[in-house]
Amino acid sequence: MCHRGTPVKCGQTIRLTHVNTGRNLHSHYFTSPLSSNQEVSAFGEDGEGDNLDEWTVQCGGSVWQREEAVRFLHTATEALLSVTGEQYGRPIHGQREVHAMAGSSQHSLWKAMEGIYMKPSESPLGSRDYSHPQHTEF
């Protein structure tokens, strides 16, 4: 079970679920349209999906710290979540392509920049529980 505010451990497998759509960050062995890397998309409904929605958090300590840059390793394909700068012209002009790549670089480092941060001891109203693998909302 995962409660909001529960620390995410380095090496833990998680699902990243978009709050508004309920879809998970997903990847598979398809080629991404702009960079020809590995495609990353949204999949599932209400946080439910499949094993291709699972990402392993790579960080330096015991838990992912707010200020720390981390990497997300796609568990099934062993590619790293990345963004290298390719931008779509349509349908959303200027939207960057997020994809997965085999090698690590500065393009595969991610850092939490916005949001509401809760201490692990807090139990906010409306918190949601999920079963394994644990989910993180983005």
The answer, as to whether pTM is greater than 0.75, is yes
Whole-number Å distance between alpha carbons of 50 and 53: 6
Quickly list DSSP for 3-70: -TTPPPBTT-EEEEE-TTT-PEEEEEEEE-TTT-SEEEEEE-BTTB--GGG-EEEE-SSSB--TT--B
CATH topology of domain 13-137: Trefoil (Acidic Fibroblast Growth Factor, subunit A) (2.80.10)
pLDDT, tens digit (0-9, with 9 covering 90-100), for 65-82? 888 999 999 999 999 999
pLDDT at residue 131, rounded to an integer: 37
Percentage with pLDDT > 90 across the chain? 57
Q: What residues are paired with 38 via a beta bridge?
A: 31, 100
pLDDT tens readout for residues 88-109: 877 778 888 999 999 999 999 9
Average pLDDT over residues 113-121: 69
Q: How much is the average pLDDT of 121-134?
A: 46
Residue ranges of the domains in the chain?
A: 13-137
